[in-house]
Structure formats: structure tokens, C-alpha cells
Amino acid sequence: MTIPLLNASGCLDPLAAPDVARSLDVVVTKTITPLPRAGNPPVRIAESEHGMLNSIGLQGPGIDAFDRESVPRLSELGVPVWVSVGGFSADDYALCCARLDGDDRIAAIELNLSCPNVEEAPETAAELVAAARGATSKTLYAKLSPAQWDIAESARAVVAAGADGLSLVNTLRGLALDPVTLRPRLARGAGGYSGPGLRPVALACVHACAEAVDVPIVGMGGVFSGRDAVELAAVGASAVALGTVLFADPLAPARIRAEMEPEVAALGSEGLPGNRARLLSI
């Protein structure tokens, strides 16, 4: 068996790095919102202990320009494209999903329900998924935040509302201080924490959700090696997304794929303990 590799949304611009995009099984776009967004002021990036913080704030061209200028070029990469959709209300999610609904160049939609760097929509995750479900028949992945006491309950709610799969997990909110001034290093203060420090959190979330719901799960959070990817699959992920590691090493997909092979082979015919081999729509 093979474990498909994706990029985590916001961690790759497939058009700026087509070679990296082609080394993945699926590319996921940066989150698209109805209107163009400038994003948050810099400083946006800080390395932290065992990870990094980002505060990008959903910088993007808006759905119109994305649809007109990016989708045709993305479709020429020869890699299935998932579009990450975000917004500030249920209507925002519905609007973007309706625009993508009839477009065969888009394989699936991931709903970013948990960006830690912008104001949240007032609706619950399940309400946002229901709004998206009403606007499209496309495969919908719900991307959840790990910052909740019972993520399994959330998983059940979004699946009941129409999600076809889960993306687990988004970043955790974190803060880093300048070593001299002791002021926050990011202009907006806190940011999304990613990297190896997030790995055990992601494992716990995937494990809990795989027990709770019967849909495919894309596992992500601090994957830097083939072993890390195999561990996520072992607790129930059908595919694994790479995030921070792509910043550190553009060649990471090929390396991680090569590292996974002997790890999986060593398990023999029993295969991975938690993997129910649910197919993704890729």
C-alpha cells in the first residue's frame, strides 16, 4: 500500500514551484476567500522551539481572480487540485463553493474552518460545512483546529453536516518573544504554530477522529520523515500532508516517500494497524 502525500494548505504555491507540486499526489491551494485579501502586516514568520509561527492572514487574490488566472494554470500541472476555501461567514463559504461546483479541474474542496490568524466566522464548523454542502456536490474536506477539548465531537458534527472527509490538523495558536526586547516577534502578536512540536497533537486528533467517524482523514502536523507519515497512517490517516517541512526542504516529498517504503514493508501482510485504507478522491 502507498500513503498519498499532499501539501498542507498555505505551505506551497504550486505555480511558483511546479516541480515541488509535481512531486506530490495532490496539491492543495492556499485558502481562497470571496474577496481579495492583503493579509496581515509583517513580521509574519518566526522560528520557535520545535516549530515555527506564521501569521499570514489568508493573503490571496479572491475567488474571481483565482478562478480566472490561477485555475487554468493549476490544471496544467498534471496533479489533482484541491482548493482550500475560507471566509468570515457561512455565506462566504457557500459563495466560493458554488463558484467551484461545476469545475471539473477541481478534484475536491477543503474547508478551512480553523485559521488561527483571522477573525472567525460566527457560525459553528458544522454550520459552515452545511452551507458549503448546500452549494456544491464536490467532495468536501473539513479542516479542523486541534485547539478543542473534544475534536471527535466536532468530527461527528461536520460529517453529519455533509463533510466527506477530514483534514487534521490546522496550526495551534502560539507566541514567540524577541530575545532582547521580550516583545512579540510577529506584528500581530500570536500566530499559528506548526512543525515537529505539533506532531503528537496531530496524532492524538487523527486517532480520536478515526475512532469517531467513518470518512477518509488527511493527517498533518509536523511530519518531517517517512516514519512520521507512517505513524499518522497507523492511527487512521488515509493520506498525509506536508507543511513546514516543505519550507525547510523542497525535496522533502521524494525523501519522505522513499523513507515510508521500508517502514510499511516491515509491517508485513498485516499492514498498518489503524489504516482502513479508505480511498481519497484523487
Report, as residue numbers or ranges, the catalytic residues: 115
Given 22, 50, 68, 276, the residue binding another protein (CB under 8 A): 50
59 sits near another protein (criterion: CB under 8 A): yes
In whole angstroms, the minimum distance from the beta carbon of 227 to another protein comes to 17
16 sits near another protein (criterion: CB under 8 A): yes
CA neighbor of 240 nearest in space, from 261, 258, 226: 226
Q: Based on CB atoms, which residue is closest to another protein, 94 or 118? A: 118
What's the Cα-to-Cα distance from 180 to each of 51, 52, 176, rounded to whole Å? 20, 19, 12
The stretch near another protein (CB under 8 A) out of 52-60, 100-108, 126-134, 263-271 is 52-60
In whole angstroms, the minimum distance from the beta carbon of 213 to another protein comes to 31
Instruction: State the cell numbers at 104.
Output: 471539473
The stretch near another protein (CB under 8 A) out of 120-128, 155-163, 242-250, 264-272 is 242-250
CA 194 – CA 17 distance, rounded (Å) = 21
In whole angstroms, the minimum distance from the beta carbon of 223 to another protein comes to 13
237 sits near another protein (criterion: CB under 8 A): no
39 sits near another protein (criterion: CB under 8 A): yes
68 sits near another protein (criterion: CB under 8 A): no
116 sits near another protein (criterion: CB under 8 A): no
251 sits near another protein (criterion: CB under 8 A): yes
What's the Cα-to-Cα distance from 218 to each of 16, 111, 262, rounded to whole Å? 24, 13, 21
Output phi, psi for 265, to 5 deg.
-60, -35
259 sits near another protein (criterion: CB under 8 A): no
CA 193 – CA 209 distance, rounded (Å) = 21
Residue 272: burial class (beta carbons within 10 Å; 0-12, 13-18, 19+): buried
Contacts with another protein in 197-216 (CB under 8 A)?
Answer: none
| CB burial string 19-38: b at 16+ within 10 A, e below | ebbebbbbbbbbbbbbeebe
CA 76 – CA 54 distance, rounded (Å) = 30
Contacts with another protein, residue ranges (CB under 8 A): 10-13, 16-17, 19-20, 30, 38-39, 41-47, 50-52, 54, 56, 59, 195-196, 244, 246-251
